[in-house]
Amino acid sequence: MKYDVIIGCEVHVQLSTKSKAFCTCRNVFGGEPNSRVCPVCLGLPGSLPVPNKEHIRSAIKAGRALGCSIAPLTKFDRKNYMYPDLPKAYQISQYDMPICNNGMLTVFTQEGTRDIRILRIHMEEDTGKNIHADDGSHESYVDYNRSGTPLLEIVSEPDMRSPAEAAAFVMSIHEIMQYLEISDCNMEEGSLRCDANINLWVYEEEKKYATPIVEIKNMNSFKAIQAALEYEVQRQADEWQNHRLTREAAGKSTRGWNEASGKTILQRTKEEEADYRYFPEPDLKPLSISADLIQSIEKTIGELPKEKRERFMHQLGLSETDTIVLTTEKAFADYFEQILTHYPNPKKTANWLLGEVKKYLNAGNISISDFRTTPAHIAELLLLQESGKISGKMAKDVFIKMAATGKAAQEIVSAEGLSQISDRGELEKIVIEVIAANPGSADDYRNGKLQAIKFLMGQVMKASKGKANPQEAEKLLSEKLSS
């Protein structure tokens, strides 16, 4: 069976604006149920929405970063449907005049690169959350804390040709939103959600058949996106072979990804689709967006992941693997670059960050933004090591103490008397004493048993309480033994 996979994505991004989309309630995740609500986001009678400038600015920023044109005139519309988590029984969204149109995002997979067209980006508000009691009471509750959270919906053209490309597309959107610093992009908390439309073009006897389009919901991780779509490709291929249903005959349906069973499950057929009765939101005036505004927002976009990677590889000479790990999270890349302003050695810095620092962060499940050690402190540590004041081993120990206390490297080194003895005079004294105290080993060395120096080095380290600079000490030992 010969077929192409056709996938389009709708990505919902929760924005991290200070306040909600149409009221002044604080916009943060969670909280005591119904603690961050007001007449507007509760949809109380008589309440009115007021647009949030940050919502609009974020949309323009995302649009420009994805190569979209920004509509000079845009408006909000009402999408009408009844559900307990939707307190007004309509969602304020954008229908036929979205704020951003016609963008492009290039994604990279093992299969190569592909340009994915962005059809549109529009602004809308999130719903509340239904909570069903699990105590057997059959009671349901609604938490409206999330109600009115500003969202962007990014809609692609059906340009993806594999589940891997779809996952790469969403990952890339995730990365860009994070770089723009307009969203927390936390998929577990639902601040980035993806639905996908998928069907197959089957080629049989010189003819092309389109299978029914299926919208897949409830994919809560990149892994889930790929797994759900891979499952769906197989399911649609099987369905085609068994029933030969075409898109024209069956229409669109909606299926939900079930992580536990590893299957997609039918939720709605076309007949059950709601008629949203969109119409222009009369409570909000149309918005004119000036070229000046667009320009001023463009200036805040900064370097995007792709540009940063190219610079890291070509200007800083980092490997592709290191570059990717360093740049996946913007905050991490920023941290890296801040170290470089004090300690301009990209390779050593990268080694340290991807080694010790990453290990520490991963072990404690700490995010780089919560990390108490500053980039300047790391730079200081690396400089101490490079100048020979402390050994590599000491540096690792000092780092653990820095990370735990937030103290500076020098502070810990001084307080614990950790600094390495590199002074030639001081080292010479110790070396002479050790040779004098171990004449047997010294003779062994002089008689050609070169390993004997290892024992003598051990004595030097012991005598110096581990502070002797090993390279310097060994050099001095062999000098003294050979003279």
Partner 1 sequence: MSEITRYSLTEIKTLLEKKSLTSEEIVSAYQTAYENDNNADIPLNGYIEFFKDARTRASAEDIKRKNNTHGRLSGLPIAVKDNILITGKKATCGSKILEGFSAPYTATVIRRLEKEGAVFLGRTNMDEFAMGSSCEYSQYGPTRNPVNREYVPGGSSGGSAAVVGAFQAPAALGSDTGGSVRLPASFCGLYGLKPGYGTLSRYGLVAYGSSLDQIGIVAHNPADIALLLSVCAGIDSKDSTSRDFSYSDMFPLTPGNLKGLKVALPVQLNGEGNSDSVRKTAAGFIDWLKQQGADVSEISIPNLSYTVAIYYIIAPAEASSNLARYDGIEYGLRNDNGNLLDMYINTRSEGFGSEVKRRIFIGNYVLSSGYYDAYYKKAQAVRSLLTHEFDNIFTDYDIVLSPTSPTPPFKLGEKLDDPVTMYLQDICTIYANLVGIPAISIPAGMSNDNLPIGMQLAGRQGNENLLLSIAQSWKNRGGAA
Q: Which of 9, 14, 65, 87 binds partner 1 (CB under 8 A)?
A: 87
Count the residues in the chain: 483
Nearer to partner 1 (CB atom), residue 282 or residue 425: 282
Question: Rounded to the nearest whole angstrom, what is the least distance from the CB of residue 285 to partner 1 in the complex?
Answer: 6
Binding to partner 1 (CB under 8 A) within 298-337 occurs at none
Query: Partners of 194 in the beta sheet?
Result: 11, 219
The sign one gets for the Cα dihedral 248, 249, 252, 256 is negative
272: contact with partner 1 by CB under 8 A = no
Question: By CB under 8 A, which span of 175-183, 274-282, 316-324, 450-458 interacts with partner 1?
Answer: 274-282
Query: Residue 463 and residue 466: Cα distance in Å, rounded?
Result: 8
Query: Residue 11 and residue 130: Cα distance in Å, rounded?
Result: 21
Question: Rounded to the nearest whole angstrom, what is the least distance from the CB of residue 22 to partner 1 in the complex?
Answer: 9
Binding to partner 1 (CB under 8 A) within 219-258 occurs at none
Quick one: which H or E segment has residue 228?
helix 222-243
Question: Rounded to the nearest whole angstrom, what is the least distance from the CB of residue 42 to partner 1 in the complex?
Answer: 7
Label the pairing between strands 253-258 and 214-219: parallel
Distance of CA 257 to the CA centre of its chain: 22
284: contact with partner 1 by CB under 8 A = yes
Binding to partner 1 (CB under 8 A) within 22-41 occurs at 39
Contact 251, 270 (CB under 8 A): yes
Name the token pair of 78.
Answer: 């009402």
Label the pairing between strands 214-219 and 207-210: unpaired
Question: Rounded to the nearest whole angstrom, what is the least distance from the CB of residue 35 to partner 1 in the complex?
Answer: 15
436: contact with partner 1 by CB under 8 A = no
Question: Rounded to the nearest whole angstrom, what is the least distance from the CB of residue 21 to partner 1 in the complex?
Answer: 13
Question: By CB under 8 A, which span of 181-189, 254-262, 273-281, 430-438 interacts with partner 1?
Answer: 273-281
Nearer to partner 1 (CB atom), residue 91 or residue 391: 91
Q: What is the DSSP letter of 114?
A: E
- Count CA within 13 A, CB hemisphere, residue 260: 0
The sign one gets for the Cα dihedral 178, 182, 186, 190 is negative
Nearer to partner 1 (CB atom), residue 87 or residue 103: 87
Q: Which of 239, 283, 428, 474 binds partner 1 (CB under 8 A)?
A: 283
Number of residues that bind partner 1 (CB under 8 A): 28
Helix then strand then coil, % of the chain, to nearest 5: 40, 20, 35
Q: What is the DSSP letter of 86?
A: -
406: contact with partner 1 by CB under 8 A = no
Question: By CB under 8 A, which span of 1-9, 87-95, 102-110, 450-458 interacts with partner 1?
Answer: 87-95
Q: Which of 15, 60, 90, 236 binds partner 1 (CB under 8 A)?
A: 90
Q: Which of 82, 260, 363, 436 binds partner 1 (CB under 8 A)?
A: 82
80: contact with partner 1 by CB under 8 A = yes
Mapping DSSP to helix (H, G, I), strand (E, B) and coil, where does residue 7 land?
strand
Contact 69, 289 (CB under 8 A): no
Q: Which of 44, 73, 265, 366 binds partner 1 (CB under 8 A)?
A: 44
Q: Using CA atoms in the order 184, 187, 192, 198, what is the torsion angle rounded to 10 degrees?
A: 160
Query: Residue 468 and residue 471: Cα distance in Å, rounded?
Result: 9
Contact 49, 88 (CB under 8 A): no
271: contact with partner 1 by CB under 8 A = no
96: contact with partner 1 by CB under 8 A = no
Q: Which of 60, 142, 151, 350 binds partner 1 (CB under 8 A)?
A: 142
Nearer to partner 1 (CB atom), residue 78 or residue 255: 78
Question: By CB under 8 A, which span of 278-286, 343-351, 369-377, 417-425 interacts with partner 1?
Answer: 278-286
- Count CA within 13 A, CB hemisphere, residue 130: 9
Interacting residue ranges for partner 1, rule: CB under 8 A: 39, 42-51, 78, 80, 82, 84, 87-90, 142, 275, 277-279, 282-285
